Amino acid sequence: MPARALAAPSPASWRRTVLPSGVHYHRDAEGARETLETLQAAGGAGRVLSFDVANREQCREVLEQDIAAHGPWYGVVSNAGIARDGAFPALSDDDWDCVIHTNLDSFYNVIQPCIMPMIGARQGGRIITLSSVSGVMGNRGQVNYSAAKAGIIGATKALAIELAKRKITVNCIAPGLIDTGMIEMEEAAQKEAMAMIPMKRMGQAAEVAGLASYLMSDIAGYVTRQVISINGGML
């Protein structure tokens, strides 16, 4: 899910809890700028950070420099994800490695440099990770993606235990089929997907953003180590 889809529908909540904010991008500079402009239009402030979440050294360098210049982050949303779908016997080494490095290694690469400064600030904090229904249930043709997203769930639960006494909450959102304008499905595949969703529709990005805003807010201070599915009751 694009970061702008999470930030744009609820700028007031982000401004209250995490701004000045760092908006990350790797390739979509225009999208990152548009997201920042949305936050600024709501009265917030922020900056754009560019790095590859699969590149550990680059992540650490950029994040440590940003923290040194602007102070510890209160909230982090780890939202990176790519898919290279295919039957398991047909997956190439690169199909496996790219998905694992981007989707799972990014948890460590992005969150780890932020933790000690967050702890040192003694202000608590919020960490949100994005998994998927594939990480909860598994999905045909997505062994690599399902493995990475299931790993995110396990890492989220473990980190939540470590940070609970520091008043830093760590939670995971597991979206189902979300209409971000990027999904292309053949009619037969869409019919099959709808049959699995009791609400008979795709979710909207604003609905995921609303959940993320809640988890970032002060009122969610007692919610941690949770995997929250937002999938229309998917069976």
| CB atoms near residue 14 (< 10 Å) | 25
Residue 2: burial class (beta carbons within 10 Å; 0-12, 13-18, 19+): middle
Give the containing element (helix H, strand E) for 203.
strand 203-204
pLDDT in tens, the chain (235 residues): 555 556 555 545 544 444 456 666 677 788 888 888 888 887 777 888 999 999 999 999 999 999 999 999 999 999 988 999 999 999 999 999 999 999 999 999 999 999 999 999 999 999 999 999 999 999 999 999 999 999 999 999 999 999 999 999 999 999 999 997 656 667 777 788 899 999 999 999 999 999 999 999 999 999 999 999 999 999 7
Instruction: Give the number of C-alpha atoms closer than 13 A to the C-alpha of residue 49, restricted to the C-beta side.
Output: 23
Contacts of 53 (CB under 8 A, 6+ apart): 24, 26, 59, 80, 102, 105, 106, 109, 110
Q: Which pLDDT score is estimated for 18? A: 41
Contacts of 146 (CB under 8 A, 6+ apart): 132, 134, 135, 138, 139
**Catalytic-labelled residue, pool 108, 145, 214, 222:** 145
C-alpha span between 109 and 129 (Å, rounded): 13
CATH of 66-230, one of 3.40.50.2000, 3.40.50.720, 2.130.10.10, 3.30.365.10: 3.40.50.720
Q: Look at the pTM and tell me if it is higher than 0.85.
A: yes
C-alpha span between 90 and 53 (Å, rounded): 26
Bridge partners (DSSP) listed for residue 204: 179
List the chain domain ranges: 66-230
Q: Is 145 a catalytic residue?
A: yes
